[in-house]
């Protein structure tokens, strides 16, 4: 499936390669499932993946990238493809009803009808229940649904269970935008955790680490927010009908409001991921595994020499705390207090007993 191999934003790791191998085999053998769920940290890149997969499904050469079907599909312009996305802050039952009508029509030519649903996690309850019924009893057995979500934890579990789920690893939607800040965030966390874990007493810098981490996330958030201003400036400088302009402005503002809210949650979740990976590495070393089994292989010597007296059961307890905090990210959790609590517990692991 050549189209997937040409997606430069995909990280070259075992998860992505496994996904590509499985999806390619489905396309080549024409054993296409009726429902897929793609998840990852960028809706823009998930959408590009969905378009590439859609092109590959209907292409007579398994996604050559050059034929009319591929070229149209990659642009989202194909009579057999419908793209559904929220027109406000949620996906409503009206959007799901529209896709039901579209999928109930016969496919154009020999291809399959494909519906791509962006931001599937923000369906309201009515839309989610209608979507579930659609997945349970599709009007055409050859129809294909591709749901896209940056956060499947808030989706209806029964919808997830009806889909083949593929989690993808990539960075940020706008190419290299945010990469420097991400590297800075990872370095701060790496240095900060080493400082905490190397100390046998309460480290006075522990709480400062939370503040520094949140400052970096705010810088990344500000970069994302600036894209809204750029888009608004671009459309304001064009000769649009005023009524259409206001509608488009409202659409963009709603879209970016959702993106900012998701970004905050994903940013803190990324911090949780890094801390959890560190803790998992400590457990791995304590249980006698070698360097090749670590998430952060460069930290093997540090953990081996500096982190000796930590009880594995205490680390597991802290991992449970992190996952508990992650579950509340969509609610009223205070990120600074949550990080303070976690870093203090990491600090507490190293106190002399």
Q: Please tell me the predicted confidence (pLDDT) of residue 353.
A: 43
Query: Is the CB of residue 217 less than 8 Å from the CB of residue 269?
Result: no
Q: Please tell me the predicted confidence (pLDDT) of residue 301.
A: 92
Range of the domain at 198: 179-349
Residue 130 lies in a domain: yes
Same domain, 188 and 146: no
Residue 172 lies in a domain: no
Residue 76 lies in a domain: yes
Q: d(Cα 352, Cα 29) in Å, to the nearest integer?
A: 60
Same domain, 129 and 248: no
Per-position DSSP letters for 206-245, written without gaps between them = HHHHHHHHHHHHHHHHHHHHHHHHHHHHHHHTS---HHHH
Residue 174 lies in a domain: no
Residue 173 lies in a domain: no
Question: 326 or 315: whose pLDDT is higher?
Answer: 315
How large is the average pLDDT for residues 176-184?
Answer: 64
Bridge partners of 114, per DSSP, are 81, 144
Q: Please tell me the predicted confidence (pLDDT) of residue 352.
A: 47
Residue 32 lies in a domain: yes
CATH of the domain at 118: 3.40.50.300
Same domain, 210 and 306: yes
Q: d(Cα 220, Cα 189) in Å, to the nearest integer?
A: 16
Same domain, 31 and 152: yes
Task: For residue 227, give both structure tokens.
Answer: 């894209």
Task: For residue 136, give both structure tokens.
Answer: 């349970």
Q: For the segment 230-270, what is each residue's pLDDT rounded down to a tens digit?
A: 777 776 666 666 776 677 677 677 777 777 776 777 778 88
Same domain, 142 and 253: no
**pLDDT grade, residue 175 (50/70/90)?**
very low
Q: Are strands 164-167 and 35-39 parallel, antiparallel or unpaired?
A: parallel
Q: Which of 167, 200, 234 is the last residue of a domain?
A: 167
Same domain, 212 and 94: no
Name 78's Cβ contacts closer than 8 Å, sequence gap at least 6: 54, 58, 69, 72
Same domain, 187 and 132: no
Same domain, 96 and 156: yes
Q: For the segment 14-50, what is each residue's pLDDT rounded down to a tens digit?
A: 788 899 999 999 999 999 999 999 998 788 889 999 9
**pLDDT grade, residue 56 (50/70/90)?**
very high
**pLDDT grade, residue 199 (50/70/90)?**
low
Task: For residue 191, give both structure tokens.
Answer: 């240095």
Same domain, 98 and 238: no
Domain count, the chain: 2
Q: d(Cα 25, Cα 28) in Å, to the nearest integer?
A: 5
Residue 93 has pLDDT above 80, yes or no: yes
Same domain, 207 and 328: yes
How many residues can be counted in the chain? Answer: 353
Q: d(Cα 227, Cα 218) in Å, to the nearest integer?
A: 15
Same domain, 193 and 306: yes
Same domain, 56 and 192: no
Q: Which of 132, 167, 202 is the last residue of a domain?
A: 167
Question: 211 or 114: whose pLDDT is higher?
Answer: 114
What angle in degrees, to the nearest 10, is found between the helix axes of 43-58 and 14-29? 30
Q: Please tell me the predicted confidence (pLDDT) of residue 179.
A: 61
Q: Which of 125, 146, 167 is the last residue of a domain?
A: 167
**pLDDT grade, residue 319 (50/70/90)?**
very high
Residue 204 lies in a domain: yes
Residue 207 lies in a domain: yes
Query: Is the CB of residue 59 less than 8 Å from the CB of residue 67?
Result: yes
């Amino acid at each position: 499936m050549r189209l997937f191999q040409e997606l430069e934003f995909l990280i070259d790791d075992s998860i992505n390669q496994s996904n590509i191998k499985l999806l390619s085999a489905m396309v080549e053998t024409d054993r296409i499932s009726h429902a897929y769920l793609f998840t990852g940290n960028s809706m823009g890149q998930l959408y590009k993946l969905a378009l590439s997969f859609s092109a590959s499904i209907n292409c007579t050469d398994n996604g050559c990238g050059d034929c009319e079907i591929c070229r149209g599909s990659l642009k989202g312009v194909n009579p057999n493809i419908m793209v559904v996305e929220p027109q406000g802050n949620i996906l409503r039952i009206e959007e799901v009803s529209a896709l039901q009508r579209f999928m109930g029509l016969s496919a154009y030519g020999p291809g399959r009808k494909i519906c791509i649903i962006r931001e599937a996690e923000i369906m309201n309850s009515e839309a989610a229940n209608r979507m579930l019924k659609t997945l349970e009893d599709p009007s055409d057995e050859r129809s294909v649904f591709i749901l896209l979500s940056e956060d499947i934890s808030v989706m209806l579990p029964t919808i997830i269970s009806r889909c083949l789920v593929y989690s993808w690893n990539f960075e940020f939607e706008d190419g290299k935008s945010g990469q420097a800040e991400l590297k800075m965030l990872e370095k701060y966390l790496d240095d900060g955790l080493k400082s905490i874990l190397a100390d046998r007493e309460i480290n006075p810098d522990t709480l400062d680490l939370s503040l520094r981490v949140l400052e970096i996330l705010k810088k990344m958030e500000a970069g994302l927010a600036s894209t809204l201003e750029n888009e608004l400036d671009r459309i304001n400088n064009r000769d649009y009908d005023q009524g259409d302009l206001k509608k488009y402005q409202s659409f963009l503002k709603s879209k970016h409001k959702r993106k900012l809210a998701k970004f905050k949650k994903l940013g803190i979740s990324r911090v949780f991921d890094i801390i959890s990976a560190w803790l998992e590495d400590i457990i791995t070393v304590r249980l006698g595994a070698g360097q090749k089994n670590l998430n952060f292989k460069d930290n093997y010597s540090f953990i081996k020499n500096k982190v000796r007296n930590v009880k594995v059961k205490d680390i597991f307890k802290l991992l449970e705390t992190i996952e508990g905090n992650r579950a509340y990210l969509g609610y009223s959790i205070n990120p600074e207090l949550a990080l303070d609590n976690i870093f203090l517990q990491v600090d507490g692991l190293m106190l002399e007993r």
